[in-house]
Structure 1
Amino acid sequence: MSDKATHPADAPLYPIREVSRLTGVNSVTLRAWERRYALICPQRTPKGHRLYARDDIQRIESILQWLNRGVPVSQVRELLDQPRSVDAPEPAAGDWPSQRQQLIAAVESLDLTRLDTLYNQCMALYPVSTCLSELLKPVVESLEEHWDEQLGAALQRRTLEAFLRTRIGTRIYHANLGSQGTTVLINRLPDDQGTLWDLLIALAASQAGYRVQLFDAPLPLNELPLAMERLKAGALLLCSGQSERADLIRRQLPRLADQLEVPVGLCGPIARIRASDLADSQIAVLGDDPLQAMTRLTPLLRN
């Protein structure tokens, strides 16, 4: 770990909010890494406020690299001080798979207390992008695979939707307050009766720095041009976990994209299912992975 005594007196120091902005790791997670795992050790002002040096920021970036390679946060500290040539070990057996199974079990048993604990633990210890890719998206995909055949599936789905709507909605609300990014309107398509995919996509968009506008119920297609104008949105993301009707995909959505002067993207499982139907349209097929969808959206907004 970095030795604060070696820092020059005039070396720049950064408050936690600025470090969070530079690294993409929220302040709650930075504090958890410090308190629970001693991964970083910032300096303190006389009033106790954290100040981070450049090597602290570099260390945070190294932590992110290990996490992105699948190393559990509990194993990162011992790797940070080893030579850079050290290969990442295999992830601890049962770490992410175990967390997924625990979350699925909490949903299936409607154990809201356990659900809340698991969600908060993940969000506190890992970047949002890691929580999305390693926990939330795989869990939603796994649950949806057997919900059609399972008694009580509707109750489980609505329970998880209500839970995520509250948690993700609160996070987006606070992120929007401080965001200077482009406003993105996210709208669910009509055949998808659930909100899971638009919530995951909204979380990814917020994490990417966009201001997110998300409604509980989908807007009719003919009202979307007015919504885009009034909300001053710079992109429209359409999402669904279903294949949707052929007429909607092949005629109505391309017609909508022709009316708008901003990018229109298709996200969620529908983007994988219907990609070939939209190959010659103005609809940007962004894929079924929320994080990759945001990466693909960025150059469209620049253009």
Structure 2
Amino acid sequence: MSSSPAEPQAAYFPIRVVSNETGVNAITLRAWERRYGLITPKRTAKGHRLYTEADIHLIRKVVSLLERGIPISQAKSMLENGTPEAEPLASMPAQPSQWHQYRARLNQAVNEFDDAALASVMDEVTSFFPADITLRFLLLPLHQQLHEQMSTPLGGARFAFFAGFLEGRLTSRLAEAPEGQTKGTLVLANTTQEDALELLLLGIMLRPLGVRILRLGGLVPPADISAMVNELTLQGAIIRITGHPNDQQLQQLQNLAAETGQLIFAIGHNQDQTDLLRRKGIVTLSGDLQQDALTVRDVLTGIQT
């Protein structure tokens, strides 16, 4: 499926802008073009892709269908056949979306501590959807749901079970080389005793954006992160910190930023700590993992260019 012919004065947008506008990363956009012929962007003399407003509108239609759990191949057929685009989730009828069904199956597997059922559902989902879409519409919502249920009987155990399963599944993916041109290498480390699954998920979302991740397991002191960044001449680190760092922790973070002279991104802090952390030389992230991945990519690109 190609985009509608553009007017001579139509505006064109590079893939980076389209990715930011639609929430679909560049690797996925290129895959949709190659594998499904979903969109045929124009090319510059150097081969760079350029998209029109009509392309962006079409991509948003596809995302709307994906939100309902419709695989990309089926979404393409629906759009080609003129099927009305999906309604927003808030206005959908009572029939659950495919994502809701997948989430219900995963939730049942977690409730029963059934790792085989978890693996079966995950294998099915990842055969139809790319990793960033699966994270956005399935894994992150379920992770949040389980986190909110931690105070219920066995809630903490179920959350830990799901987090452990995901950690095992995703860690091997993190070790794979990033797709496309590498924009930099970052250490991924947890400096707290708290759950680090969101940190791992952020690392996974950075891989298709061309960022190489070196993940350190367990609790890692900032001094060790500093030594690793300096020894390997890396571009920096993404660290999980506590919500309200005390004076000693703040000093350690300031030392980490000063000793490396590189980018130190942080998640896990409360938003009222943002200004203080920035004054310590820390690049604060919002907690919206989709946006945070784009922020890390953009900051790395800006530093290198």
State TM-score, norm by structure 1. Answer: 0.71
Report the Cα distance in structure 2 between the residues aligned to 1:156 and 1:58, rounded to whole angstroms. Answer: 42
Provide closer, same or farther for how the CA distance between residues 22 and 293 of structure 1 changes in structure 2, counting only shifts above 3 A. closer
Deviations 1:190-218 (A, max 9, x none): 231x3312221121122322111112213
Q: Which moved more, 1:88-97 or 1:215-224?
A: 88-97
Q: Aligned residue pairs: how many?
A: 257
Report the Cα distance in structure 2 between the residues aligned to 1:211 and 1:127, rounded to whole angstroms. Answer: 18
Provide closer, same or farther for how the CA distance between residues 67 and 251 of structure 1 changes in structure 2, counting only shifts above 3 A. farther
Question: Which residue pairs with 1:191 in the alignment?
Answer: 193
Question: Which residue pairs with 2:274 in the alignment?
Answer: 275
Letter of the aligned partner of 1:161 in structure 2? A
Q: How does 1:228-247 map to 2 (within 5 A)?
A: 228-240=229-241, 242-247=242-247
Question: Which residue pairs with 1:132 in the alignment?
Answer: 135
Instruction: Please state how far the C-alpha of 1:189 moved relative to its aligned partner.
Output: 2.1
Match status 1:56 vs 2:60: no
Instruction: Please state how far the C-alpha of 1:137 moved relative to its aligned partner.
Output: 1.4
Question: Which residue pairs with 2:28 in the alignment?
Answer: 24
Match status 1:216 vs 2:197: no
* Structure 1 residues without counterparts, runs of 5 or longer: 3-20, 31-39, 41-51
Question: Which residue pairs with 1:202 in the alignment?
Answer: 203
Letter of the aligned partner of 1:72 in structure 2? G
Report the Cα distance in structure 2 between the residues aligned to 1:279 and 1:132, rounded to whole angstroms. Answer: 28
CA contact (8 A) 2:146 2:158 kept: no
State TM-score, norm by structure 2. Answer: 0.71
CA contact (8 A) 1:25 1:127 kept: no
SS of the aligned residue for 1:142 comes to helix
Letter of the aligned partner of 1:140 in structure 2? H
CA contact (8 A) 2:179 2:209 kept: no
Question: Which residue pairs with 1:265 in the alignment?
Answer: 265
SS of the aligned residue for 2:280 comes to coil
Question: Which residue pairs with 2:162 in the alignment?
Answer: 160
Instruction: Please state how far the C-alpha of 1:253 moved relative to its aligned partner.
Output: 1.5
Question: Which residue pairs with 1:80 in the alignment?
Answer: 79
1:66 maps to which of 61, 65, 71: 61
SS of the aligned residue for 1:270 comes to coil
Question: Which residue pairs with 1:119 in the alignment?
Answer: 122
2:87 maps to which of 74, 86, 89: 89
Report the Cα distance in structure 2 between the residues aligned to 1:104 and 1:126, rounded to whole angstroms. Answer: 19
Report the Cα distance in structure 2 between the residues aligned to 1:283 and 1:130, rounded to whole angstroms. Answer: 29
Deviations 1:254-291 (A, max 9, x none): 33212222111112x42546324424332111111222
Deviations 1:149-205 (A, max 9, x none): 23334432332233222211121222359873411111112231x331222112112
Provide closer, same or farther for how the CA distance between residues 182 and 113 of structure 1 changes in structure 2, counting only shifts above 3 A. same
The sequence identity of aligned pairs, in percent, is 17
RMSD: 3.4
CA contact (8 A) 2:186 2:234 kept: yes
Instruction: Please state how far the C-alpha of 1:87 moved relative to its aligned partner.
Output: 4.7
Question: Which residue pairs with 2:172 in the alignment?
Answer: 170
SS of the aligned residue for 2:217 comes to coil
Letter of the aligned partner of 1:225 in structure 2? S
CA contact (8 A) 2:189 2:217 kept: no
* Structure 2 residues without counterparts, runs of 5 or longer: 3-24, 42-54
Report the Cα distance in structure 1 between the residues aligned to 2:40 and 2:297, rounded to whole angstroms. Answer: 27
Report the Cα distance in structure 1 between the residues aligned to 2:209 and 2:179, rounded to whole angstroms. Answer: 15
CA contact (8 A) 2:149 2:156 kept: no
Report the Cα distance in structure 1 between the residues aligned to 2:181 and 2:156, rounded to whole angstroms. Answer: 35
Report the Cα distance in structure 2 between the residues aligned to 1:163 and 1:254, rounded to whole angstroms. Answer: 34
Question: Which residue pairs with 2:283 in the alignment?
Answer: 284
